[in-house]
């Protein structure tokens, strides 16, 4: 069976998760990408074809002129609609393209939730900066790209002058990009991870997310939550139902304030930044195989057999200044007092970077798993205290 996998840049989810899972399933993989050289340097044994994967017509043509597909899949935020359209064109299992569109487009997501009475948030699109003068949003409010990812160019603003300045600044980096201005939703930030096949939907748990101080929203720490309180989970699932989400993997970010759960954004794919790798090991399930099987048209088991006693945390050391990384720890795996620690560098010594106020500032990621949260937290703290990251300006 042949799976076409759409990708932009290489990611840990594909390299360490989906491609090994595809091999275990015995799939022939053809990777379509607009960055073929980057992928060939990571996995030279995979068939890689150059394609303008942002254009669904180019994807359909590339597949039509190659081997017959059995699945079209992507874990990229940017390519969900293209993959959905291609899968539908070839009569294959996949996500509904209108659902991938309304989850990727943050303004459309707000309109959809409001139109069906699931949740109403003050929100508006900005395509022309001249229109900012007529806006009267509730302050503080949040500005973000309509189709952005990873908290890039997401910022909290406190007044009209700052709103104009931030929107101008973002559009200078993203010429022509549509922005969303919406009310700030207070509360603790969480995620909900789900997996469905269109008939059954499994909740895999989620994470409690610690973000940087305002005005930016950098995810610095995620602590595993085996099960959210039932009223909270029910509210989030009802909003996902309103959006039509239910096939394959979905990573949903939401806040809880005074018992009310409100979606921040829906990423209609598996959670990234190595959280998916941790989740598969923590739950002891073939997570990546399950996701791929849904796109092959197979039904999920009614019981995934997931382990229920795990505790985990991910920590992301961040660069606080621009410059060249001169000292950093190497990749490490060790077990301390029953806690499994896995550290992976995300930036090479000798690399120079600016400060982006996004996950591109991550210097590395530490994954920790055990059965006791206090032991996990202690092991993480002790490991990080023993490491050094130095940046020369």
pTM: 0.95
Q: At what angle do helices 287-295 and 275-283 cross, to 10 degrees?
A: 110
Read off the pLDDT band of 234 (50, 70, 90): very high
The model's pLDDT over 148-196, given as tens digits with 9 standing for 90+, comes to 887 888 999 999 999 999 999 998 888 888 999 999 999 999 999 999 9
186 vs 171: CA distance, rounded Å: 26
Mean pLDDT of the chain: 95
Question: Do residues 193 and 180 make contact, with C-beta atoms less than 8 angstroms apart?
Answer: no
> For 105-148, what is each residue's pLDDT tens digit?
999 999 999 999 999 999 999 988 887 878 899 999 999 999 88
pLDDT tens per residue, range 317-336: 999 899 999 999 999 999 99
3-state secondary structure of 58: helix
User: Could you give the C-alpha distances from 108 to 30, 103, 113, 125, 390, in angstroms and in order?
Assistant: 32, 7, 9, 9, 42
Q: How confident is the model at residue 358 (pLDDT cuts 50, 70, 90)?
A: confident
Q: CB–CB of 252/344 below 8 Å?
A: no
Q: How far apart are CA 41 and CA 94, in angstroms?
A: 29
């Amino acid at each position: 069976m042949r799976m076409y996998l759409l990708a932009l840049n290489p990611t840990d989810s594909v390299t360490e998760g989906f491609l090994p899972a595809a091999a275990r399933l015995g799939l022939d993989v053809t990777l379509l990408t607009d960055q073929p050289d980057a992928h060939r340097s990571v996995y030279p044994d995979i068939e890689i074809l150059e394609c303008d994967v942002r254009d669904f017509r180019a994807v359909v043509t590339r597949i039509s002129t190659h081997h017959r597909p059995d699945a079209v899949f992507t874990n990229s935020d940017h390519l969900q609609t293209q993959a959905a359209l291609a899968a539908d064109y070839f009569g294959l299992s996949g996500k509904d393209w209108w659902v991938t569109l309304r989850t990727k487009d943050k303004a459309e997501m707000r309109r959809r939730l409001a139109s069906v009475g699931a949740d109403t948030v003050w929100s508006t699109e900005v395509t022309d900066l001249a229109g900012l003068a007529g806006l009267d949003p509730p302050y503080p409010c949040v500005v973000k790209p309509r189709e952005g990812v990873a908290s890039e160019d997401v910022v909290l603003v406190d007044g009209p002058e700052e709103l104009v300045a931030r929107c101008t600044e973002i559009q200078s980096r993203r010429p022509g990009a549509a922005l969303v201005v919406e009310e700030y939703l207070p509360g603790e930030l969480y995620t909900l991870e789900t997996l469905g096949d269109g008939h059954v939907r499994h909740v895999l748990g989620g994470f409690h997310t610690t973000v940087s101080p305002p005005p930016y929203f950098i995810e610095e720490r995620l602590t595993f939550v085996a099960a959210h309180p039932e009223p909270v989970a029910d509210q989030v699932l009802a909003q996902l139902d309103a959006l039509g989400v239910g096939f394959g993997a979905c990573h949903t970010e939401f806040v809880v304030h005074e018992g009310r759960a409100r979606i921040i954004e829906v990423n209609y794919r598996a959670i990234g930044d190595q959280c998916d790798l941790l989740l598969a090991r923590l739950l002891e399930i073939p997570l990546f195989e399950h996701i791929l099987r849904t796109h092959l048209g197979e039904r999920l088991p009614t019981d995934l057999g997931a382990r229920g006693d795990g505790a985990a945390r991910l920590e992301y050391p961040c660069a606080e200044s621009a410059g060249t990384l001169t000292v950093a720890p190497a990749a490490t795996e060790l077990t301390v007092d029953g806690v499994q620690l896995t550290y992976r560098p995300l930036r090479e010594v000798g690399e120079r970077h600016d400060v982006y106020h996004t996950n591109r500032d991550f210097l590395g990621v530490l994954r920790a798993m055990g059965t006791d949260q206090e032991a996990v937290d202690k092991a993480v703290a002790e490991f990080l205290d023993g490491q050094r990251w130095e940046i020369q300006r």
